[in-house]
């Protein structure tokens, strides 16, 4: 077995890199080994406002933003996400990044502590997974409510 190391300056690229690398022939697993913090941890208020601003910017996407078949994010999905994170605890927002999904969904991605997680948000549903040390801990669906969203975050950060 051989290992290949990649250093990335901007963690926003983690999800796409992880997906691309895991699809290569012969790759058994992709693991984040170490992440250097370049600044002090952000406060809950800073994290909250960054995510609110990111959601607002993603709400501006229009159909075709990522190719002819890509869809704009539904306003209802943006609203539900913003409402849910307003109730989240600081530690539950750490190390998460919000991305658009070309199907018109939001994708909330987590990488940290030898774990990865993702929550895909549609207007009505949360589709989520959580893996720690290569083991799948959670992989399920739930109705998109603030309560369910916060419950998933709590289980991931348990």
What pLDDT shows up at residue 35? 53
What total number of domains does the chain contain? 1
For residue 90, tell me if it sits in a domain. yes
Query: Per-10-residue mean pLDDT for the chain, 158 residues long?
Result: 64 68 73 52 77 94 92 96 91 90 96 90 96 91 97 89
Domain that holds residue 142: 41-156
Inter-CA distances, 50 with 18, 94, 127, 155, Å: 24, 11, 23, 23
What pLDDT shows up at residue 39? 47
For residue 5, tell me if it sits in a domain. no
For residue 87, tell me if it sits in a domain. yes
For residue 98, tell me if it sits in a domain. yes
- The structure's pTM equals 0.73
In terms of Cβ atoms closer than 10 Å to its own Cβ (0-12, 13-18, 19+), residue 80 is buried
Please state the φ and ψ torsions of residue 118, each to the nearest 5 degrees: -150, 145
For residue 76, tell me if it sits in a domain. yes
For residue 18, tell me if it sits in a domain. no
Please state the φ and ψ torsions of residue 86, each to the nearest 5 degrees: -65, -20
What pLDDT shows up at residue 134? 86
What pLDDT shows up at residue 158? 78
Report the alpha-carbon distance of residue 144 to residue 77 in Å, rounded.
9
Report the alpha-carbon distance of residue 132 to residue 71 in Å, rounded.
32
């Amino acid at each position: 077995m051989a290992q290949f190391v990649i250093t990335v300056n901007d963690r926003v690229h983690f999800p796409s890199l992880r997906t691309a690398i895991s699809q290569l022939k012969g790759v058994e697993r992709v693991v984040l080994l170490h992440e250097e913090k370049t600044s002090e941890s952000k406060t809950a208020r800073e994290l909250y406002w960054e995510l609110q601003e990111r959601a607002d910017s993603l709400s501006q996407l229009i159909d075709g933003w990522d190719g002819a078949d890509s869809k704009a994010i539904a306003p209802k999905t943006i609203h539900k996400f913003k409402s849910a994170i307003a109730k989240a605890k600081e530690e539950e927002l750490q190390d998460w990044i919000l991305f658009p999904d070309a199907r018109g969904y939001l994708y909330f991605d987590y990488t940290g502590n030898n774990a990865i997680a993702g929550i895909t948000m549609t207007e009505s549903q949360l589709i989520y997974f959580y893996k720690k040390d290569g083991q799948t801990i959670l992989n399920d669906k739930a109705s998109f409510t603030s309560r369910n969203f916060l419950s998933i975050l709590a289980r991931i950060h348990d």
